[in-house]
């Protein structure tokens, strides 16, 4: 069975992104740059859907329930001229949980969690932060969501969920998927066993 095309958008830059803090399942607000990235992503989605001969109204729109993803989805839909609130969320698209590391800036982790970070570097896919979850755990959630996708969709979520999707669709093996670059202000088109970055 052919997998539906996914137009995947990572949420726009947040205050914690700018400060270098791990967010996981905690939230911070979009910056002005993050809001501009949302509009930029909308323009790319519109161009890609038109190029594919699709119809925006026929697409499913789904977001992570975390505030930064919802703000991005609502800004994106507004920029497309669509009702900002006419989409649904799925908890299985929430970001990887970093447990007690959430809200901590990376230099603090280096100073206080060096041994754990070294273990993470050796096997990022299977490493579980204290009180958090591994990419392997995350992929189980993403797999359950993916099984419900029945039509081309615009997805707004996170870097971690995109990496899980890269592994799930066989685009990269798990250890490579765990370090796959997922940028903000661009669109990743998942289709035909591959992914292409636009923007």
Query: How many structural domains is the chain composed of?
Result: 1
Q: Does residue 85 fall inside a structural domain?
A: yes
115 part of the active site: no
List 11, 13, 113, 158, catalytic entry:
11
Q: Does residue 15 fall inside a structural domain?
A: yes
Domain interval for residue 136? 6-198
- The 3-state secondary structure of 84-117 reads CCCCEECHHHCCCCCHHHCCCEHHHHHHHCHHHH
pLDDT tens profile 41-92? 999 999 999 999 999 999 999 999 999 999 999 999 999 999 999 999 999 9
Q: Does residue 151 fall inside a structural domain?
A: yes
List 13, 74, 95, 133, catalytic entry:
95
Q: Does residue 1 fall inside a structural domain?
A: no
CATH, residue 156: 3.40.50.1240
11 part of the active site: yes
pLDDT tens profile 19-42? 999 999 999 999 999 999 999 999
**pTM for the predicted model, two decimal places:** 0.96
């Amino acid at each position: 069975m052919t997998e539906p095309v996914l137009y995947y958008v990572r949420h726009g830059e947040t205050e914690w992104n700018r400060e270098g803090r791990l967010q996981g399942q905690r939230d911070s607000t979009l910056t002005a740059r993050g809001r501009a990235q949302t509009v930029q992503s909308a323009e790319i989605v519109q161009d890609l859907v038109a190029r594919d001969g699709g119809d925006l109204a026929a697409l499913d729109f789904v977001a992570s329930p975390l505030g930064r993803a919802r703000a991005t989805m609502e800004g994106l839909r507004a920029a497309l001229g669509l009702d900002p609130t006419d989409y649904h969320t799925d908890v299985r698209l929430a970001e990887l949980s970093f447990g007690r590391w959430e809200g901590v800036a990376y230099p603090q982790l280096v100073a206080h969690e060096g041994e754990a970070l070294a273990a993470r570097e050796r096997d990022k896919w299977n490493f579980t932060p204290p009180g958090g979850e591994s990419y392997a755990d995350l992929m189980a959630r993403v797999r359950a969501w993916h099984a419900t996708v029945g039509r081309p969709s615009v997805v707004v979520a996170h870097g971690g969920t995109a990496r899980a999707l890269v592994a799930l669709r066989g685009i990269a093996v798990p250890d490579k998927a765990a370090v796959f670059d997922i940028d903000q202000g661009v669109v990743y088109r998942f289709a035909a066993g591959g992914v292409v970055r636009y923007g």
